[in-house]
């Protein structure tokens, strides 16, 4: 696998993009993104598990089942959530207008929105924006498109890799947004993956959802699950490799690369948590079952007390052990070990369920770093899991205390 630094997702064969401002954001920053595949494509998706689902989520859940998906339209600055029948009608109108401009069917267009909940979409601005953006689609539009989907994010999130399948170069690339309202089982995040691999829709759907479960569904910033999250993949087959329709070696090569892209984007979202100063990675080993290891990892990464301790650079291991204890995993508390490390330096703080003495000055140096690993050995089986998140700072409260302003 070749990791392509600073390369746009439009490196994927047949993918064009554009990003513009159509006036949805008060700041005047880019707020409308359009991505288009010149080739017919298949798609799969994962959507918020919040029962309050925004209109774009409901419509995209329907359209993602289409035999062909070629376009994705995304607006930021307005979530089009909790707007009743009018919100759904506006989402439908959006897909119809994009389809008309691109000469495809409305069912072949996916739609995403992110921003403030409960405000009607200013359709006059959006309609004008769609008519303006369609002619701007190009292979050079990836950077503008990546910027147009952001809200409180401090940087765009992009990952691009290439692999070889049947002597053909296959590209997998993604963009994402997400900074706050982030919690396992999707979050106020949009993740979009594009690839030119030739793969069956059934296998793409299965492997994508499995990958999401181990990557995007293992991050948390603040414990809030949004109304608008979704993660989409579109595969257009333009690489012209032999169709992948069985779980053979070619499938494994593709899956490993897809997992890398999804995990990398998930970690970038966790790193960019609102007000965050540290990226936290929890690695749980030797759980009785995969589910147990995941429960423990998620419990630690969502513990606000633990997150506050890391912001304060306080080695309060009791909060970690406490979070493990209420995770509802099948545990043997007397067997648990916990280490904290960063940049190759490591300190064991818990052995067999009990705290250890340690050098406060040395561990303070570890906790001052901007990426910290929390290693938990359950010594209760052979199953492992990882989760990602960030610390909880004063700035998080400041940002969310005035989000609508």
User: What confidence score (pLDDT) does residue 40 get?
Assistant: 97
Domains defined along the chain, listed by start: 2-271 (3.60.70.12), 279-400 (3.10.20.340)
Q: Decide if 106 contacts 96 (C-beta within 8 A).
A: yes
User: What confidence score (pLDDT) does residue 73 get?
Assistant: 98
Number of continuous H segments (helices) and E segments (strands) in the chain: 11, 17
Question: Exposed (0-12), middle (13-18) or buried (19+): which is 209, by Cβ within 10 Å?
Answer: middle
User: What confidence score (pLDDT) does residue 403 get?
Assistant: 57
Q: pLDDT 10s per residue in the chain (405 long)?
A: 999 998 999 999 999 999 999 999 988 999 999 999 999 999 999 998 778 889 999 999 999 999 999 999 999 999 999 999 999 999 999 999 999 999 999 999 999 999 888 889 999 999 999 999 999 999 999 999 999 999 878 889 999 999 999 999 999 999 999 765 555 444 457 899 999 999 999 999 999 999 999 998 888 765 556 677 889 999 999 999 999 999 999 999 999 999 999 999 999 988 877 678 899 999 999 999 999 999 999 999 999 899 999 999 999 999 999 999 999 999 999 999 999 999 989 999 999 999 999 999 999 999 999 999 999 999 999 999 999 988 888 887 776 676 555
**One of 94, 188, 302, 306 is an active-site residue; which one?**
188
User: What confidence score (pLDDT) does residue 392 get?
Assistant: 85
User: What does the angle CA 200 – CA 201 – CA 207 come to, to the nearest 5 degrees?
Assistant: 90
Question: DSSP label at 108?
Answer: G
- State the helix-helix crossing angle for 84-102 and 123-133, rounded to 10 degrees: 20
User: What confidence score (pLDDT) does residue 4 get?
Assistant: 96
SS3 string, 177-197, reads ECCCCCCCCCCCCEEEEEECC
What is the maximal distance between C-alpha atoms in the chain? 68
Question: pTM for the complete prediction?
Answer: 0.86
Active-site residue 188, yes or no? yes
């Amino acid at each position: 696998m070749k990791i392509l630094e600073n390369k746009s997702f439009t490196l994927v064969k047949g993918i064009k993009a554009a990003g513009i401002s159509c006036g949805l954001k008060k700041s005047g920053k880019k707020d409308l993104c359009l991505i288009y595949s010149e080739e017919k494509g298949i798609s799969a998706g994962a959507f918020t598990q919040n029962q309050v689902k925004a209109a774009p989520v409901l419509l995209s859940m329907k359209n993602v089942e289409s035999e062909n998906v070629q376009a994705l339209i995304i607006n930021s600055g307005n979530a089009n959530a909790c707007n009743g029948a009018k919100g759904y009608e506006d989402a439908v109108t959006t897909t119809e207008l994009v389809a008309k401009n691109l000469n495809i069917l409305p069912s072949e267009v996916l739609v995403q929105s992110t921003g403030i909940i409960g405000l009607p979409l200013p359709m006059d601005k959006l309609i004008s924006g769609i008519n303006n953006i369609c002619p701007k689609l190009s292979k050079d539009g990836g950077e503008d498109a990546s910027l147009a989907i952001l809200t409180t994010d401090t940087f765009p999130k992009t990952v691009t890799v290439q692999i070889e399948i049947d002597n053909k170069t296959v590209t997998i690339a993604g963009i994402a947004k997400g900074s706050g309202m982030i919690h396992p089982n999707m979050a106020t995040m949009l993740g979009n993956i594009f690839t030119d691999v030739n793969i069956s829709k059934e296998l793409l759907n299965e492997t994508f959802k499995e990958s999401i479960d181990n990557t995007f569904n293992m991050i948390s910033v603040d414990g809030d699950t949004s109304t608008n999250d979704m993660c989409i993949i579109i595969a257009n087959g333009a690489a012209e490799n032999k169709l992948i329709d069985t779980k053979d070696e070619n499938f494994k090569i593709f899956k490993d690369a897809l997992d890398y892209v999804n995990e990398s984007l998930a970690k970038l979202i966790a790193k960019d948590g609102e007000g965050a100063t540290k990226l936290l990675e929890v690695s749980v080993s030797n759980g009785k079952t995969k589910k147990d290891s995941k429960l423990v990892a998620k419990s630690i990464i969502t513990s606000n007390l633990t997150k506050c301790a890391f912001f304060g650079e306080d080695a309060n291991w009791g909060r970690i052990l406490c979070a493990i204890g209420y995770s509802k995993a099948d545990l043997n508390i007397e067997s648990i070990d916990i280490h904290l490390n960063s940049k190759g330096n490591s300190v064991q703080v818990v052995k067999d369920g009990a705290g250890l003495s340690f050098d406060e000055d040395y561990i303070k140096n570890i906790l001052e770093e901007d990426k910290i690993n929390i290693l938990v050995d359950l010594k209760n089986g052979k199953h492992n899991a990882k989760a990602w998140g960030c610390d909880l700072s004063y700035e998080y409260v400041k940002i969310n205390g005035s989000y609508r302003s």
